[in-house]
Amino acid sequence: APEIAALLDPLFAARASYLRAALETIDAHWGGRDRYFREVLGLDDALRERLRERLVE
């Protein structure tokens, strides 16, 4: 139903303002995305490159 879709839209939308706020928080708390990916998410350079190849067109 359209009404339900409208209610769920914010859960699945990638709004620029949300992404910008998330990146600013990461930069402020961890000093940058590289450190966040490495220390918080546990992603080494090789895994990040594989993810980048799959996710970026």
d(CA 51, CA 53): 5
pTM above 0.75, yes or no: no
d(CA 56, CA 53): 6
Looking at the 3D structure of the chain, how many domains does it have? 1
**Residue 43: exposed, middle, or buried by beta-carbon count in 10 A (0-12, 13-18, 19+)?**
middle
d(CA 30, CA 51): 21
- Which structural domain range is residue 37 located in? 2-55
d(CA 46, CA 1): 43
pLDDT of residue 48: 94
pLDDT of residue 8: 86
Residue pLDDT tens, the chain, 57 long: 888 888 888 788 788 998 999 999 999 999 999 999 999 999 999 999 999 999 887
